[in-house]
Amino acid sequence: MFCVYEEKSISHQTESHIRQFRESRNGHLAPMFRDNRAIIEIDANERYIVRNDSGEVYFIGQGYDEAIKRIGHAEPAASIEVMKDGKHYTGAQYKQDTAPTVFLVAYSVNSSNGVLFVGMDAKKGNQHLGSWQFIGNENEVSAEIREIVEEMGERDNTAIRYAWRDIEELADLKGANLNVGKLDFTAVRARARNLKARIINETTKSAEKETTKQAKKSKVKLKDGKFDVMSLYRIN
């Protein structure tokens, strides 16, 4: 049995929380977590139990972030160990292992024919899984994206996030209920725009080259101000 107190700092009439500590019956003061080691044990009912290494339970909640906040309130400098299904993780390892696989998709559309120029990135926590580019109509692009998502994603732990608009055919893959935090679409937007610019530029150059080629073929040559019949009728 012990009592729990809060250590606070007061400066310029402003009070701020520092940490908690406990006091035993004989007046001995000690930190909440011995050796600064906090344990989050996740049981079969998905309860998040915060305890110390001797088994004393300080908190029982329903989420990882909630448990982390409780540990931080008790001792901001505590190291965190997570136990689930017989496995042991550091806090960073657990977040990486349970992070959703997220696909970031950005478009640039050719307004004249509806062709999509698509950039896509995949990530899981801090790990970058790959980058892709697609060109085609919506059905073609959605089929290619679906194949990659189904191959690389995890059941109930995958999300697709769109920078501009959704591909309707992939509505069942969006994972709208997953909390994936703030995402940076800068790279995939740039990839989609650059892909569009490159393809249009190459197409334009190719068309111009073909036009010039045809013009040369149909040009009538003159010799001394007269038609060159051999050239006009392509007679060899």
Domain with residue 209: its CATH number is: 3.30.420
- As separate numbers, helices (DSSP H) first and strands (DSSP E) second, the chain gives 5, 14
Q: List the chain residues with pLDDT less than 50.
A: 220-236
Which residue bears the tokens 């062709």?
A: 115
* CA dihedral for 45, 49, 53, 56, sign (positive or negative): negative
43 and 107 co-located in one domain: no
- Counted domains in the chain: 2
For residue 230, the model assigns a pLDDT of 40
Tell me the residue range of the domain where 192 lies: 99-236
Angle 229-230-236 from CA coordinates, rounded to 5°: 160
| Whole-structure pTM value | 0.63
User: Do the Cβ atoms of 102 and 92 come closer than 8 Å?
Assistant: no
Which of 65, 92, 119 is the C-terminal boundary of a domain? 92
For residue 177, the model assigns a pLDDT of 54
For residue 169, the model assigns a pLDDT of 56
Q: Does the residue 123 lie in any domain?
A: yes
What is the rounded distance in angstroms from the CA atom of residue 106 to the CA atom of residue 167?
11
For residue 30, the model assigns a pLDDT of 84
List, in sequence order, every residue forming a beta bridge with 178; answer none if it has no partner.
none
What is the rounded distance in angstroms from the CA atom of residue 134 to the CA atom of residue 120?
8
